Amino acid sequence: MNERSSRIDGLCRRALEGAALPEPDLPALLEARGGEAEAVYATAREMRARHWGDTIFLYGFVYFSTYCRNDCTFCLYRAGNAASPRYRKTLAEVVAVCRDLAASGVVLVDLTMGEDPQIHDDPGHAGLLELVRAVGDDVGLPMMISPGLLPDEALSGLRRRGVDWYALYQEVHTPELYARLRLGQPFAARVAARGAARRAGLLVEDGMLTGVGDTSRDRAHSIAVMRREGCAQVRVMSLVPQAGTPLATTTSPRDEAELLSIAVLRLAMPERFIPASLDVAGIGGLEGRLQAGANVVTSLVPPGSGFLGVSHAELGIDEGERSVASVVPRLRALGLRPGSVEEYRGRLAALREGSGAVAS
């Protein structure tokens, strides 16, 4: 075994012994290759098994407005992209798709929108609050909301209406790189909004994007920051270059960067929710993400619903590949099983009570 392999081996052993690996140790794991990478994935699976058994939670995705006032350079739905598909679903359409998702067996609905000016400029965010109240009353599943930056009082209002999670992604945690991605959106404002959401009693998800000029040190920094912030769910996705955006001609990153990031997230934060998104590589990419240590499958969208995904707006949706029926046999083939809503609620309650709380 060469020096690099034996260092990676040692880091995996320390993670299994419960050590919180410091940030300077993480780039070596993120750069693992071949057999070294297999050792990192195996360690991540072992750590998932210790904290989560064979349980994987399935999340429905409801992208209810694709309008946005922002111009993130990586995003299909940026304001300046004339090629972007635009829609704003009615409350009845949102409730109906959430009902379909609940009936199919997801444990959570992720209500997502761009920073739609019509919704953000609505006094008191009344329409948004009404939407989550209607979904909560009708569907009764745990809810995540991904609405962009919101003021503190709106976050408190969402929690009072039963929302469990606030997702707000930094994507990169190195301010210079961030400034090239989220144009005109202050870095600190997103950090502050996640803090306000926590104080309002919401669980918080942050996430990182790879393939945007990030190095293994940038990814290690993101992982260390998300661990320190105490995000209860942490995700990584790869850039999918989008037509009509400044990053349209960027070379797609290797899948391995995302898979190793999932595994290192698991080594660094074994007790947290870590998604395998169907939005990047579709159903064909699911096994690799689960084998890297993910314990959540996200971006399930009902076929024929007219709702879109984010990175791959349509990939596999109308073919039924992003459905519970398509995912469950693939879980079973790996010795995994879908978690129930009751199990999921129990995990959320433990997080809130502190018994399963994340270290910050």
Judged by the rule CB under 6 A, the positions of this chain that interact with ligand SF4 are 68, 70, 72, 75, 77-78, 114-115, 148
Closer by beta carbon to ligand SF4, 66 or else 326 = 66
Answer yes or no: are the C-beta atoms of 130 and 154 closer than 8 Å.
no
CB of residue 174 to ligand SF4, shortest distance in Å: 17
C-alpha dihedral, 313 to 262 to 74 to 171, nearest 10°: 130
Closer by beta carbon to ligand SF4, 59 or else 169 = 169
85 burial via Cβ count (<10 Å: 0-12, 13-18, 19+)? exposed
DSSP 249: T
CB count, 10 Å around CB of 360? 9
Sign, CA dihedral 64-66-69-75, equals positive
Name residue, tokens 């809503």: 341
CB of residue 303 to ligand SF4, shortest distance in Å: 23
CB count, 10 Å around CB of 189? 11
Sign, CA dihedral 318-328-141-207, equals negative
CB of residue 246 to ligand SF4, shortest distance in Å: 11
CB of residue 154 to ligand SF4, shortest distance in Å: 16
CB of residue 330 to ligand SF4, shortest distance in Å: 28
Closer by beta carbon to ligand SF4, 309 or else 338 = 309
Closer by beta carbon to ligand SF4, 57 or else 74 = 74
Q: How far apart are CA 294 and CA 58, in angstroms?
A: 11
CB of residue 77 to ligand SF4, shortest distance in Å: 4
Closer by beta carbon to ligand SF4, 148 or else 285 = 148
CB of residue 109 to ligand SF4, shortest distance in Å: 18
Give the H/E segment covering residue 264: helix 255-268
Closer by beta carbon to ligand SF4, 78 or else 221 = 78
Q: How far apart are CA 119 and CA 289, in angstroms?
A: 34
Closer by beta carbon to ligand SF4, 116 or else 321 = 116
Answer yes or no: are the C-beta atoms of 249 and 241 closer than 8 Å.
yes
308 burial via Cβ count (<10 Å: 0-12, 13-18, 19+)? buried
